[in-house]
């Protein structure tokens, strides 16, 4: 393997070129398959080291690798006009719940939020490519369960869900345990009925006035 300062060897160059040219993040397996089953792990490590201090860096997001611009240059590169979809408070909350609790059913999301979640909210997140249907829970009713996608990790700059902010503390505090609080559930239960007509329950992905996001 080449030294940091010297010229990179052919495999490193090949991995570098492949990832530069790729239209989307690639798994190690995909890179390897593209390069004739070469062993690319070490080359990725070397590239990651090489790019560490540069304007572009090599990152791993959900087992997929891609180059992206260094975050400290955001102020220079940020494109105001192309701001990603603004999510409503409801949508960001649901997204966080899916990420921290995945896989999670809609009923479980609702139990945490204390309100019904409009179908549109999950649709918005799935359309953004951040949430996917991850099968069904094998319990009565076989509810659909949701999970995050590799695009979610890539978008929010996470190598894996383990890097979610504060997740270890939340888990230690028991705040990510399954919700099975029958008593309060019963107290809140009526809101599942009254919810549809209740004012202010704009779960449709549109932030209402007066709410700070």
Which residues inside 30-49 make contact with another protein, applying CB under 8 A?
34
Which residues on neighbouring strands pair with residue 136, listed in sequence order? 144
Query: Distance between alpha carbon 51 and the CA centroid of its chain, in Å?
Result: 24
Note whether 59 binds a second copy by CB under 8 A: no
| Residue 132 per-residue DSSP state | E
φ, ψ dihedrals at 118, nearest 5°: -65, 145
Peptide bond just before 82 cis, omega within 30 deg:
no
69 binds a second copy (CB under 8 A): yes
Q: Please identify which residue in 40, 104, 130, 132 interacts with another protein, judged by CB under 8 A.
A: 130
Q: 122 by DSSP, 3-state: which?
A: helix
Of 75-83, 85-93, 187-195, 199-207: span binding a second copy (CB under 8 A):
75-83
Q: How far apart are CA 159 and CA 171, in angstroms?
A: 19
- Residue 162 as a binder of another protein (CB under 8 A): the answer is no
Question: What's the closest the beta carbon of residue 98 comes to another protein, in angstroms?
Answer: 10
The kind and range of the H/E element at 157 are none
* Partner that binds at residue 55, options another protein, a second copy, none, CB closer than 5 to 8 Å by kind: a second copy
Using an 8 Å Cβ cutoff, are 202 and 127 in contact?
no
Could you report how far apart the first and last alpha carbons of the chain are, in Å?
49
C-alpha distances (whole Å) from 10 to each of 7, 17, 18 are 9, 10, 12
CB of 45 to another protein, least distance (A): 19
99 is in the binding site of which of a second copy, another protein, none (Cβ under 5 to 8 A by kind)?
another protein
Using rule CB under 8 A, residue 148 touches another protein: no
Q: Scanning residues 53 to 112, which ones bind another protein (CB under 8 A)?
A: 66-71, 74, 76-87, 89-90, 92-93, 95-97, 99-100, 112
If one asks whether residue 20 binds a second copy (CB under 8 A), the answer comes out as yes
Q: Which residues bind a second copy (CB under 8 A)?
A: 4-5, 7-8, 12-18, 20-21, 34-35, 53-56, 67, 69-70, 73, 76-77, 79
């Amino acid at each position: 393997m080449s030294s940091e300062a010297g010229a990179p060897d052919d495999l490193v160059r090949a991995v570098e070129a492949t990832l530069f040219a790729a239209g989307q993040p690639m798994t190690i397996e995909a890179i390897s398959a593209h390069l004739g089953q070469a062993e690319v792990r070490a080359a990725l490590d070397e590239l990651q080291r090489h790019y560490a201090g540069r304007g572009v860096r090599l990152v791993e997001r959900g087992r997929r690798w891609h180059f992206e611009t260094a975050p400290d240059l955001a102020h220079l590169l940020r494109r105001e006009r192309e701001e990603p979809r603004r999510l409503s408070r409801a949508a960001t909350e649901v997204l966080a719940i899916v990420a921290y609790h995945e896989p999670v059913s809609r009923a479980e999301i609702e139990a945490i939020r204390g309100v019904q979640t409009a179908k549109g909210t999950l649709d918005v997140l799935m359309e953004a490519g951040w949430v996917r249907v991850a099968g069904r829970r094998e319990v009565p009713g076989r509810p659909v369960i949701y999970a995050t996608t590799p695009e979610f990790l890539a978008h929010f700059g996470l190598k894996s869900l383990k890097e979610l902010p504060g997740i270890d503390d939340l888990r230690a505090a028991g705040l990510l345990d399954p919700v099975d609080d029958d008593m309060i559930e019963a107290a809140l239960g009526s809101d599942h009925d009254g919810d549809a007509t209740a004012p202010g329950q704009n779960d449709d992905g549109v932030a209402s006035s007066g709410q700070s996001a």
